[in-house]
Amino acid sequence: MALYIARRLLNLLPVLLGITLLVFTLLQLIPGDPAVVILGERATPEQVEALREQLGLNQPLPLQYLTFLWNLMRLDFGTSIISGVPIAEEIKTRWPATFELSVAAMVVAVVLGIPVGVLAAVRKNSSLDNLSTIGSLLGVSMPVYWLGLLLIYLFAVNLNWLPPSGRLSIEAGLNFKPITGFYIIDALLQVDIKVLLDVLSHLILPALTLGTIPLAILARITRSAMLEVLSQDYIRTARAKGVQERWVILQHALKNALLPVVTIIGLQFGTLLGGAILTETIFSWPGIGSWIYEGILARDYPVVQGGVIFVSVSFVIINLLVDISYPFLDPRIHYR
């Protein structure tokens, strides 16, 4: 196992190098000059050239790329051109918000999606199966921005049950001092029930909105995997021995159907960690996705570069963890 992990880590180096090259190249193709964005259109050519020299934008592209790589190796993501804040500090501030939202969305997807998929497989071609199929298609097809606005209108505007945006209300945050940046953990550490309930209430609507697509995908994948497993001989043998049906489903069938399900969970979670731009924008969620989007609009190259590299590394690490989990789910899998 250790040798396999070491080999996988070495294989990730070319992938990460390709990501850095791709991100750097694509950003160079974006129209506009960061120096002009900073100084404004009324800046003189001398001022623009002086700022370009200060930022290193007048150097040859290969030299700029090598400088970019060297800074990454030192965990120096640069500084925002617009705000002047170091990229590492921005990531440290915004990533906990994205992580909390992603975990909440995946909890919604897993808690609802897997049971729906299992029930749909057990009761194949029943009304429940047909209803889950229709629901999955709607979940995948429904635009996130429309669903988010609909939930805000229903639960925040009409019913006034939940807050429409943000991570924390002003009243609850007056005496609240974040420790780790993860508001739920910080509220628990400070034993502040009021803040904890407020944070959870702000998390419900964006988590439901963001978790809809993963929920639909998990339900379909779980159903397909369960149908394949339920047709195996050992399932019929277990039933012939008189094993209770619920243990046949949970211990024999579901356990052996988890490999594709865990793979999808890892891929979806890695995608969510990249920041859901639409969801974070609609609910004013201060996460990675909205931050990168703002950097693209402002042509803030260091923000886009640092944010995309961080998201890519997170996605690769999640995939590595999923691969490592396979032998624990299925003892027949061995890494050599």
Mean pLDDT of the chain: 83
| Alpha helices (runs of H) in 30-86, residue ranges in sequence order | 34-39, 45-55, 61-73
Both tokens of 199, joined, read: 């944070």
- Pair of tokens at residue 149: 């606005």
CA distances from residue 184 to 69, 97, 198, 202, 248 in whole angstroms, order as listed: 35, 10, 10, 11, 37
* DSSP-based three-state secondary structure for 298: coil
Q: pLDDT for 105-120, tens place per residue?
A: 999 999 999 999 999 9
Helices (H) and strands (E) in the chain, counts: 16, 0
Model pTM? 0.83
Query: 3.30.200.20, 3.40.462.20, 1.10.3720.10, 3.40.50.12640: which CATH number matches 95-292+305-329?
Result: 1.10.3720.10
Domain ranges across the chain: 95-292+305-329
Q: pLDDT tens digits, residue range 31-89?
A: 666 677 666 667 777 777 787 777 677 777 788 788 878 888 888 887 887 777 888 88
Q: Is the pLDDT of residue 302 over 70?
A: yes
Q: How far apart are CA 134 and CA 128, in angstroms?
A: 10
At residue 215, the pLDDT reads: 92
Residue 270 confidence (pLDDT): 82
> What is the reported pLDDT for 115?
92
pLDDT value at residue 1? 66
Torsion of CA 230, 234, 237, 239, to 10 degrees: -40
Rounded distance between C-alpha atoms, residue 128 and residue 188, angstroms: 39
Q: Is 178 helix (H, G, I), strand (E, B) or coil?
A: coil
Residue 29, pLDDT score: 72
Q: How far apart are CA 235 and CA 214, in angstroms?
A: 28
> Which secondary-structure segment (H or E) carries 139?
helix 127-141
Contacts of 317 (CB under 8 A, 6+ apart): none
User: Could you tell me what percent of the chain has a pLDDT over 70?
Assistant: 93
Q: Which tens digit of pLDDT belongs to each residue from 228-266?
A: 888 888 888 888 888 888 888 888 888 888 888 888 888
Are 91 and 306 in contact, with CB atoms under 8 Å apart? yes
Q: What pLDDT, on the 0 to 100 scale, is given for residue 295?
A: 83
Residue 237: the pLDDT is 86
Angle at 220 between CA 107 and CA 288, to 5 degrees: 40
